[in-house]
Amino acid sequence: MVESKKNAVYSILVLLPSVILLLIFVYGFIGNSFYVSLTDWGTGAALRENPVKNFVGLKNYRELFTGAINARFRQDLINAVFYSLFLVVGTLTVGLFLAILLDKGPKGEHVLRTIFLFPMALSFIVTGTIWRWVFSPKGGVNLIPTWFGMERGKFLWLSSREQVLLFNWQNILQIIALILFVIFALVLYSGWKNKKRTQITWGAVLSGVMLFYALVLHNILPPILPYEESHGFSLATIGIIIAAVWQYSGYTMALYLAGLRGLPVAMYESAKMDGAGDLTYYFKIAIPNMWPITLSAIIIISHISLKLFALIFSMAGADNASTGHPSVLMYLVTFRANNFAIGAAISVILFLMAALFIIPYLIQSYRARR
Partner 1 sequence: MSQNTLRRVSPLIYVMVLTIMVIFLVPIYMAIITALKNPAEINLATAWHLPSTPYWRSFSEALKLLLPSLQNSLVLTITGTALSALVGSINGFIFSKNRFPGSEVVFTLFLFGMFIPYQIILIPLFQLLRTIGIYGSLSGLILAHVVYGIPITTLIFRNFYDQIPDSIVESARLDGAGFFGLYGRLFLPLSVPGFVVVGIWQFTQIWNEFLWGVTLTKQSSQPVTVGLAQLAGGQAVNWNLPMAGSFLAGFPVLLIYIFLGRYFIRGLLAGSVKE
Subset of 212-251 contacting partner 1 (CB under 8 A): 246, 251
| Coarse DSSP helix, strand, coil percentages of the chain, rounded to the nearest 5 percent | 75, 5, 25
Size of the site for partner 1 (CB under 8 A): 102
Residue 238, classed as helix, strand or coil, is helix
Positions in 171-210 near partner 1 (CB under 8 A): none
What letters, b where the CB count within 10 A reaches 16 and e where it falls short, cover 87-115? bbebbbebbbebbbebbeeeeeeeeebee
Q: What whole-number distance in Å separates Cα of residue 80 and Cα of residue 350?
A: 10
CA-only gyration radius of the chain, Å: 25
Q: Which of 1, 8, 164, 279 binds partner 1 (CB under 8 A)?
A: 8
> Got the DSSP string for 75-126?
HHHHHHHHHHHHHHHHHHHHHHHHHHHHHT--TTHHHHHHHHHHHHHS-HHH
| Beta carbon of residue 79, minimum distance to partner 1 (angstroms, whole number) | 15
| Binding string, residues 80-109; x marks residues near partner 1 by CB under 8 A | -----------------xx--xxxxxxx--
327 binds partner 1 (CB under 8 A): yes
Please name which of 315, 285, 330, 359 lies closest in space to residue 76, comparing C-alpha atoms.
330
Q: Is residue 36 part of the contact set for partner 1 (CB under 8 A)?
A: yes
What is the nearest approach in angstroms of partner 1 to the Cβ of residue 146?
10
Smallest gap from residue 138 Cβ to partner 1 (A): 5
Report whether 315 contacts 89 (CB < 8 A). no
Binding-site string for partner 1 from residue 105 to residue 144, where x marks contact by CB under 8 A and - marks none: xxx----x-xxxxxxxxxxxxxx-xxxxxx-xxxxx-xx-
Q: Considering the rule CB under 8 A, would residue 365 count as an interface residue with partner 1?
A: yes
Does position 347 interact with partner 1 (CB under 8 A)? The reply is yes
Residue 158 beta carbon to partner 1: minimum distance, rounded to whole angstroms: 13
Should residue 266 be labelled a site residue for partner 1 when binding is judged by CB under 8 A? no
Helix H, strand E, coil C: the string for 160-220 is: CCCEEEEEEHHHHHHHHHHHHHHHHHHHHHHHHHHCCHHHHHHHHHHHHHHHHHHHHHHHH
Among 55, 148, 227, 366, binds partner 1 (CB under 8 A): 366
Identify the CA nearest to 40 among candidates 31, 53, 51, 58. 53
Q: Which is nearer to partner 1, 7 or 190 (CB)?
A: 7
Give the residue with the Cβ less far from partner 1, 216 or 362: 362
Binder of partner 1 out of 78, 238, 255, 290 (CB under 8 A): 255
* Residue 57: strand, helix, or coil: coil
45 binds partner 1 (CB under 8 A): no
Q: Does 313 bind partner 1 (CB under 8 A)?
A: yes
Q: How far is the CB of 212 from partner 1 (least distance, A)?
A: 34
Interface pick for partner 1 out of 260, 322, 323, 324 (rule CB under 8 A) = 260
**61: contact with partner 1 by CB under 8 A:** no
The answer to whether residue 271 forms part of the interface with partner 1 (CB under 8 A) is no
Could you tell me the smallest distance in angstroms from the CB atom of residue 300 to partner 1? 6
